[in-house]
Amino acid sequence: MIQSIDSGNPNIDQIALTFDDGPHSEHTLNLLAVLNQHGVKATFFLLGENINGHESIVKQIVQEGHLIANHSKSHPDLLKCDDHTVLEQLTYTNTVIENITGKAPAYFRPPYGETDDRVNNLAGSLGLTPIMWSLDTNDWKGLGVDAIEKELMKATPGSIILCHDGVPASNQTIEAVNIAIPKLQQQGLNFVTLSELLVGGGQTEYPSADSPINIPHSSIPPIAQPVPGQKYAVQPEDDLSKIAEKSYGDGNEQSWRKIYEANINIIGSDPSIIKIGMVLDIP
């Protein structure tokens, strides 16, 4: 059973700022500037549908030493989704992140914080560890800079702090973070990524822009190569013929129709239309 994680070690003076719902063309860039100014690292839980058109921001997040994680494709309540939809939501975002950064994320945060054993186990099957939080700033409500700063100042060793960089009120969050960071640092707290927090220190999840990207095999979801008897997430440039060729070594009509017929309820009436991230059964 996969358990959600909501905090780090309370005996180590480290805390993790986390930001949900980005990337955002304005807020995320402004936030990165603030974090860079203070020399701190954070974790960004990205929505897959927000990544399109903002690929350069995703690259910048990684290049500046921050950690990228999965917040689903379109922010649904996963408790209300069937297994296939949960996998599709998470696999889509894993795929687009890996295509941009060269590495699949290791963590995911369920939208609205709504999860259970079923959702956690499905995420675990994709190599994702569910992350919650121990300190919620409620910044998405737009309560003002002072109110958000007040919540940030409640951080203690091991805190995972929930903020947002992809909502209308995120400008308030950025200003509050700018004020709170030096105050928390003066209290002896160090800002680290989730990966650092959860191992009690160490390397960031992603290498610097000048370093070769090393992808541990165990961290990558089993989506890159279709295998008969397993599930496969549709990749960019895929069509049923290409998937059949990768699966069986033959992309002829008989082969791709075998896949289509096994997934007709997912694909629909037109076998020529399949979407990136769609999870197919390979018979």
Nearest to residue 103, comparing CAs of 233, 218, 214, 238?
A: 214
**How do residues 47-95 score in pLDDT, each as one tens digit?**
999 999 999 999 999 999 999 999 999 999 999 999 999 999 999 999 9
Residue with the bigger pLDDT between 237 and 166: it is: 166
CA angle 35, 4, 207 (to 5 degrees): 40
Pairwise pLDDT comparison (184 vs 236), residue with the higher score? 184
Per-residue pLDDT, averaged over 35-44, amounts to 97
Percent of the chain with pLDDT over 70: 89
Catalytic residue chosen out of the listed positions 20, 139, 165, 238: 20
The pLDDT assigned to 236 comes to: 60
Q: What is the DSSP letter of 78?
A: G
> What is the token pair recorded at 242?
């290409």
* Distance between CA atoms of residues 127 and 248, nearest Å: 25
Q: What is the pLDDT of residues 175-222, one digit of tens each?
A: 999 999 999 999 999 999 999 999 854 333 443 333 333 333 333 333
Q: Which residue has the tokens 């069509």?
A: 239
Residue-level pLDDT at 29: 96
Query: What token pair was written down for 187?
Result: 């209290």
Q: Which of 54, 71, 75, 164 is catalytic?
A: 164
Query: Is the separation of the CB atoms in 191 and 40 below 8 Å?
Result: yes
Ordered by where they begin, the domains of the chain are 14-199 (3.20.20.370), 224-281 (3.10.350)
Question: Catalytic: 20?
Answer: yes
> Which of 100, 131, 49 has its CA nearest to residue 209?
100
Q: Which pTM was predicted?
A: 0.74
Average pLDDT value for the chain: 87
* Predicted pLDDT at 171: 96
**What number is the average pLDDT over the span 120-125?**
91
148-173 pLDDT, tens digit per residue, is 999 999 999 999 999 999 999 999 99
User: Is 165 annotated as catalytic?
Assistant: no
**Greater confidence, 1 or 193?**
193
The confidence score (pLDDT) of residue 122 equals 92
